[in-house]
Amino acid sequence: MILPADHSADAAIIGGGFFGCMIACHLAEQGQRVILLEREENLLDKASYRNQARVHQGYHYPRSLITGLRSRENYTRFVSEFGECVHTGFEKYYAIGREFSKVNAAQFELFCKRIGAPLSEAPGHVKALFDRGLIEEVYRVEEAAFDARKLAGLVKRRLEKNQVRVWTRTEASRVEPASGGLRLHASQSGLPVGIQASQVYNCTYGDLNGILRGSGLPLIPLKHELAEIALVEPPAPLANLGITVMCGPFFSLMPFPSTPWHSFSHVRYTPHAGWNENTADDMSPAEARATGTPVSRVEHMRLDALRYMPEVGNIIHRKSLFEIKTVLPVNEKDDGRPILFRRDCGLPGLHCVLGAKIDNIHDILDEIDNAEAPPARHAA
Ligand SMILES: Cc1cc2nc3c(=O)[nH]c(=O)nc-3n(C[C@H](O)[C@H](O)[C@H](O)COP(=O)(O)OP(=O)(O)OC[C@H]3O[C@@H](n4cnc5c(N)ncnc54)[C@H](O)[C@@H]3O)c2cc1C
């Protein structure tokens, strides 16, 4: 479809991942006219699919009490709102490494108590799967995984219901002030498209600075990692289990519900590269992607993980998903995952959003509702 060059909306959303789509639905439900732009052919196909699919309940963040507490609250909200996309039909265990771990078992127990996360001793047959010389303790926990494909289906139905105009294969490049609000420049199949909008939400995750760069605005300091999530067929004894070894250079193996496989990641080997993007001279995710897909490191992951859990040696690698993972540099030490919601980011009406983990959507929508919203204006 060839689009006419000019369009208008109350809000234009850049990025059709989970966050962009949910914000689009939220604003449309409030009566705003919304246009959503996605560069790829499909929605929720980038970070919102290429991740570990864990619905966080706090256990993963023993060094950040605030992220632990927010995860606890948002877990309940996420499971209640997106229950049809949440897979709970497996047993989830967290194990604590004896050496190299940043927390010990006593600290982990105390942390779970503080955030009110359910925890119990793992049964003997599960403990027996671990090398107890390397693993101090194993706990049964309550944690789910989400099915990203089902989530995409649900989100698409909501977008339709709320009459959000969705343009895929449309790449936004820059935003500039214009009479009555902002003008967003984009291209579809090489043809320029312009959108006049009162508000523009930049929901491009790792590419947040791409829009800011294009618009000549200051960048947001971000930390990127080129990450590999291996999808593997687990051996029978691990088929119904999700395992996470904490809190250091260890691994996770847990169901990846949109496939018959488990996701497999390793703190040391999953990141193929890591860098900060603070200034226009730093490498952008687009430049990193242009260097091509790296060779899988799943064999390194397997060889290290089987020392802790010998059955991991019997996984069968099916494929790997590569994605740039983006976090805030400020969380490098505590591994926390707060949201970034930067209102009027360089320009009045341009808002930048980084969700950091999927359940944080509730914090973002609360932030949008709580902020003193300017009166909805219909752009000319
Ligand atoms: C390896 C990895 C593991 C993770 N594990 C977990 C986990 O277990 N649990 C959890 O909760 N979270 C996890 N996360 C984080 C989670 O995936 C993200 O917080 C979430 O998916 C971000 O959603 P989003 O909509 O912001 O980004 P995305 O889903 O990436 O959406 C952004 C969209 O913007 C589009 N876009 C970019 N630039 C433009 C442009 N110029 N014009 C138009 N469109 C554009 C992209 O194509 C993309 O579709 C993980 C992330 C990674 C990478």
Q: Is 172 in the pocket of ligand 1 (CB under 6 A)?
A: yes
Residue range 123-130: average pLDDT? 98
Question: Does the pLDDT at position 374 exceed 60?
Answer: no
Residues 346 and 321 occupy one common structural domain: no
Provide the pLDDT for residue 179: 87
Question: Does the pLDDT at position 378 exceed 60?
Answer: no
Provide the pLDDT for residue 92: 98
Residues 243 and 301 occupy one common structural domain: yes
Cβ neighbours around 195 below 10 Å, total? 29
Q: What percent of the chain is modeled with pLDDT above 70? A: 96
Note down the domain range covering 311. 71-144+222-327
Judge whether 333 lies within some domain: no
Provide the pLDDT for residue 190: 87
Q: In the structure, what pLDDT confidence band is assigned to residue 5 with cuts at 50, 70 and 90?
A: low
| Nearest CA owner, ligand 1 atom 4 | 51
Judge whether 248 lies within some domain: yes
Question: Does the pLDDT at position 379 exceed 70?
Answer: no
Question: Does the pLDDT at position 377 exceed 80?
Answer: no
Q: What is the DSSP string of 71-102?
A: HHHHHHHHHHHSGGGEE--SEEEEEEESSS-S
Residues 23 and 96 occupy one common structural domain: no
Question: pLDDT of 40-58, one tens digit each?
Answer: 999 999 999 999 999 999 9
Question: Does the pLDDT at position 376 exceed 80?
Answer: no
| Nearest CA owner, ligand 1 atom 12 | 357
Residues 179 and 283 occupy one common structural domain: no
Q: Is 301 in the pocket of ligand 1 (CB under 6 A)?
A: no
Cβ neighbours around 84 below 10 Å, total? 10
Judge whether 237 lies within some domain: yes
CA 246 to CA 248: how far, in whole Å?
6
Q: What would the two tokens of residue 50 be?
A: 């290429």
Picking from 287, 305, 327, the residue at the C-terminal end of a domain is 327
Judge whether 335 lies within some domain: no
Atom of ligand 1 nearest to the CA of 173: 41
Residues 209 and 229 occupy one common structural domain: no
Q: Residue 133 sits in a domain of what CATH number?
A: 3.30.9.10
Provide the pLDDT for residue 373: 54
Picking from 327, 349, 365, the residue at the C-terminal end of a domain is 327
Distance 235 CA to ligand 1 centre (A): 30
Residues 254 and 289 occupy one common structural domain: yes
Residues 162 and 27 occupy one common structural domain: yes
Q: Is 215 in the pocket of ligand 1 (CB under 6 A)?
A: no
Q: What is the DSSP string of 115-173?
A: HT--EEEPPHHHHTTS-TTTEEEEEEE--EEE-HHHHHHHHHHHHHHTT-EEE-SEEEE
Judge whether 299 lies within some domain: yes
Atom of ligand 1 nearest to the CA of 53: 8
Provide the pLDDT for residue 372: 56
Q: Which of 358, 359, 362 to mutate to test the pocket of ligand 1 (most atoms within 8 A of CB)?
A: 358
| Nearest CA owner, ligand 1 atom 15 | 357
Residues 4 and 133 occupy one common structural domain: no
Residue range 151-179: average pLDDT? 97
H helices within 147-271, ranges in order? 148-161, 208-214
Residue range 106-129: average pLDDT? 98
Q: Which of 41, 48, 270 to mutate to test the pocket of ligand 1 (most atoms within 8 A of CB)?
A: 48
Q: What would the two tokens of residue 327 be?
A: 């976090």
Q: Is 169 in the pocket of ligand 1 (CB under 6 A)?
A: no
Provide the pLDDT for residue 380: 30
Q: Is 53 in the pocket of ligand 1 (CB under 6 A)?
A: yes
Residues 104 and 161 occupy one common structural domain: no
Residues 233 and 179 occupy one common structural domain: no
Provide the pLDDT for residue 332: 82
The per-residue pLDDT of the chain, averaged, comes to 95
Q: What is the DSSP string of 269-305?
A: TSEEEEEEE-STTSPPHHHHHTT-PPPP-HHHHHHHH
Atom of ligand 1 nearest to the CA of 228: 1
Provide the pLDDT for residue 188: 93
Judge whether 65 lies within some domain: no
Question: pLDDT of 11-23, one tens digit each?
Answer: 999 999 999 999 9
How many domains are contained in the chain? 2
Q: Is 242 in the pocket of ligand 1 (CB under 6 A)?
A: no
Q: What is the DSSP string of 328-366?
A: -GGGTTT-----EEETT-SSTTEEEEE-SSGGGHHHHHH
Question: pLDDT of 286-336, one tens digit each?
Answer: 999 999 999 999 999 999 999 999 999 999 999 999 999 999 998 888 889
Question: pLDDT of 68-101, one tens digit each?
Answer: 999 999 999 999 999 999 999 999 999 999 999 9
Residue type at 30 in one-letter notation: Q
Judge whether 374 lies within some domain: yes
Question: Does the pLDDT at position 207 exceed 60?
Answer: yes
Provide the pLDDT for residue 375: 45
Residue range 331-359: average pLDDT? 94
Q: Residue 21 sits in a domain of what CATH number?
A: 3.50.50.60
Judge whether 20 lies within some domain: yes
Provide the pLDDT for residue 164: 98
Question: pLDDT of 235-266, one tens digit each?
Answer: 999 999 999 999 999 999 999 999 999 999 99
Pick 70 or 375 by higher pLDDT: 70
Phi first, then psi: give them for residue 44, nearest 5 degrees: 50, 45
Residues 355 and 237 occupy one common structural domain: no
Residues 183 and 288 occupy one common structural domain: no
